[in-house]
Amino acid sequence: MTDSNLVSKWSRSSTLVGDARLAPGAHPIGERGSRFSYREIRSRIAAIVRSTIRNRNLFAVDLVLSAFALLLAAWLRLGPQVLFSDLEAAKSLAGSIPVFVAICAVTFPTAGLYKRKWKFASIPDYIVLLQAILIASLTFMTAIFLYSGFAIIPHSIIAIEIMVLTSLLAGVRITFRQEDLKALAPTSRGTVADPSSQVPVLLVGPGQEADLYLRALQRDRTSTYLPVGFLDDSPAETGAMLRGVPVLGTTDEFEAVIAGLESRKQKPRHLIFTAPLSSFKGETAERLIEQADRMGMVVSRLNPATELRKTHAASAFELRPIELTDLLERPQAALDIAALQRFIRDRRVLVTGAGGSIGSELTRQVAALGPSRLVVVDNSEFNLYSIDLDLAEKFSAVPRSAHLCDIRDVRRLDSIFAQHKPELVFHAAALKHVPMVELNPCEGVLTNVCGTMNVAEAVRRWGAVGMVQISTDKVVNSPNMMGATKRLAELFCQSLDLECANEIAGPRFVTVRFGNVLGSSGSLIPLFKRQLARGGPLTITHPEMKRFFMTIREAVELTLQASAYAVEKKLGSGEIFVLDMGEPIKVIDIARRMIRLAGFTPDRDVQIQIIGRRPGEKLFEELFDESEERVAPPVPGVFGAVPKPVPLPVLYDTFERLHTFASDGNTAAVVDTMRRILPGFRAGESQLQGATIDKSTTDREFQT
């Protein structure tokens, strides 16, 4: 078929404009429209109209370009001589263009093109743009076909029009975005106008966070930071550019890069890590921090990319000082987010000890997973107030209840369970400080042993799906009362779990055991910070003492993951989950790192003092008892241990006697009973000797 014939046949569509109508009974939004009420449809149409009016200039440009794209497509396919030599062809084209423009005028707003902020556009936004163009073009082609059949227009014209219109509309948006960036930036190169206010910064680790940060810097008129280059672990990246900022060398070439910049009078005054410090090999991050400190540079880090995406202003990109948790944090284990959401979403969840270090992080992560109600319980008014305020600010959409309650109080605890009937219970309430429980053994028993029994029995009585108990590595071969009381709590939950496994709808009782968490209240890191603020010395009890360390966030994430698998998939009845804590770290090394992070030199600017081991304190903690069978559950970052179970009647009898002795303050009977039920328990000497705390030992009490 010749081009002349094609034009001749196309001319028959000249009256299409007048005849184009919706088919009788057709609904403008398709069959799905029947699902919506008239009010919803009217509301959606009103929102579309408002967004279109708000962006009327862009809307007008899009319609003009739509007409031009169809005209250009015909011109490219048929040629100017053929297209305009036939008066009928010109008339048919003139009649078809308004139809296409009218279709675009309906399709583009309906697709939401004018609700989007194109100056922040990304790939998904341009995919929506392409989808809108395809819908409009196919609708136009369908209209042509229904009127006169495919013979009146070459298919290739529609294909060319799609490519042309996509290029034009995307090009306009990209142009608007670039002009917007130029208008916002202090200069076209992103530098500040006043040279005296520029702060040269060297960035470490090009990546997603760095890209977001540089984009924000370009938009921020008030920023005084001037990125002069990047360092990267990979030599292959040297010479590459990210948003105009060059990769100057590897992290091993730090001093040479600084010397080169100094020769060009661009010596950076700030070193910014744009990726998590755990992502760098070996001790690279710590070495860079030390080198930068020697050169008088300020060292900071960016927030994770997930937090940076919440804002587009560089002023909101808070640069945070390097903390010890940054150096000790490990690469994040892959989490099964879908499993966590299935585990928590639309369930009533109760957390004991919700205001504590572990309990508060657990509460926040649970709230983020969408429970139907979150019940927080704590015996500290201030802690309860703090976590309730935090939830109100960050998770206001989650229904919540806050209750002052000591888990020793059976009646109060039962009334809370009766009111809310929780489906999942996370038990984080405990007395956790070794020296305090060592000197107050009866209180340790009443809270850690009897209190855990109270919570577990309420779980069973009120039909919860499961209970997750937070435990500690100090239960293994424990020489102290705190570890021994938590060991009894583990054994009780294990025996209950085994017994309920035989019930049709019996609850699961899951125990998760892990070591020290960094930054928890009354722990090692806050103590060292307080001592550093006083100018030292930093006190440790033994130069060879080692501990397992993990960030609170990681510990809670793995706890939730293990709990989800155990409760939902009914894995390992009677099994205790043990988090992979990595390798233990010397406490004296932690002290040295903190001194260096504060900008001082250990043993020169700030001293480290050895003060001797405290009662009940071990040199090395253990995660597994020799008698425990080790298993490998299908949860990354989690191990399994199966202790030899103790019959539930024996535990009930022992707990009853312990409750009686502890309530009477009979320390000798409490210790003797503990030794009988736990053959390996070696504590008790300090309690029986009536040890007391004096002012000179206050700083020792909270290291473990």
How far, rounded to the nearest angstrom, does the alpha carbon of residue 675 sit from its chain's CA centroid?
Answer: 44
Whole-prediction pTM: 0.65
Specify the 3-state DSSP secondary structure of 378. strand
**Strand 348-352 with 424-427, pairing:** parallel
Single-letter code of the amino acid located at 413: L
Could you read off the pLDDT of 324-351 as tens digits, one per residue? 767 666 666 667 788 888 899 999 999 9
Averaged pLDDT of the chain: 79
Ramachandran sector of residue 366 (left: φ over 0; alpha: ψ -120 to 50; beta: rest): alpha
Average pLDDT over residues 350-376: 95
How far, rounded to the nearest angstrom, does the alpha carbon of residue 335 sit from its chain's CA centroid?
Answer: 11
Torsion of CA 93, 94, 98, 103, to 10 degrees: 0
Does residue 151 surpass a pLDDT of 80? no
How many other CB atoms are there within 10 angstroms of residue 49's CB atom? 12
Of 244-258, 280-294, 565-579, 662-676, give the range with the top mean pLDDT: 662-676
Q: Which of 101, 95, 107, 114 is nearest to 69 (CA)?
A: 101
Residue 21 confidence (pLDDT): 37
Sign of the CA dihedral running 341, 345, 348, 354: positive
CATH number of 337-700: 3.40.50.720
Does residue 306 surpass a pLDDT of 70? no
Higher pLDDT, 649 or 283: 649
Higher pLDDT, 677 or 477: 677
Single-letter code of the amino acid located at 299: V
Q: Which of 110-119, 276-285, 647-656 has the lowest mean pLDDT?
A: 276-285
Could you give the angle at the alpha carbon of 639 between the alpha carbons of 649 and 632, nearest 5°?
Answer: 95
Return phi, psi of residue 551, to 5°.
-70, 155
- Tokens 């042993």 sit at which residue? 449
Does residue 127 surpass a pLDDT of 80? yes
Average pLDDT over residues 208-212: 73
Higher pLDDT, 694 or 592: 592
Residue 315 confidence (pLDDT): 42
Q: Which of 128, 125, 130, 133 is nearest to 107 (CA)?
A: 133
Could you give the angle at the alpha carbon of 551 between the alpha carbons of 545 and 556, nearest 5°?
Answer: 125
Query: Number of C-alpha atoms within 13 angstroms, CB side, residue 465?
Result: 18
Sign of the CA dihedral running 606, 610, 611, 614: positive
Q: Which of 84-93, 202-211, 238-247 has the lowest mean pLDDT?
A: 84-93
Higher pLDDT, 373 or 184: 373
Spatial distance between the Cα atoms of 327 and 288, rounded to a whole number of angstroms: 12
How many other CB atoms are there within 10 angstroms of residue 395's CB atom? 18
Torsion of CA 135, 141, 147, 150, to 10 degrees: -150
Query: Number of C-alpha atoms within 13 angstroms, CB side, residue 44?
Result: 13
Spatial distance between the Cα atoms of 540 and 610, rounded to a whole number of angstroms: 5
Residue 29 confidence (pLDDT): 38
Residue 316 confidence (pLDDT): 43
What's the fold here for domain 195-322?
Rossmann fold (3.40.50)
Does residue 622 surpass a pLDDT of 60? yes
Of 83-92, 112-121, 495-504, 571-580, give the range with the top mean pLDDT: 495-504
Spatial distance between the Cα atoms of 56 and 114, rounded to a whole number of angstroms: 9
CATH 3.40.50.720 segments of the chain: 195-322, 337-700
Q: What percent of the chain has pLDDT over 70?
A: 78
**Strand 298-301 with 270-273, pairing:** parallel
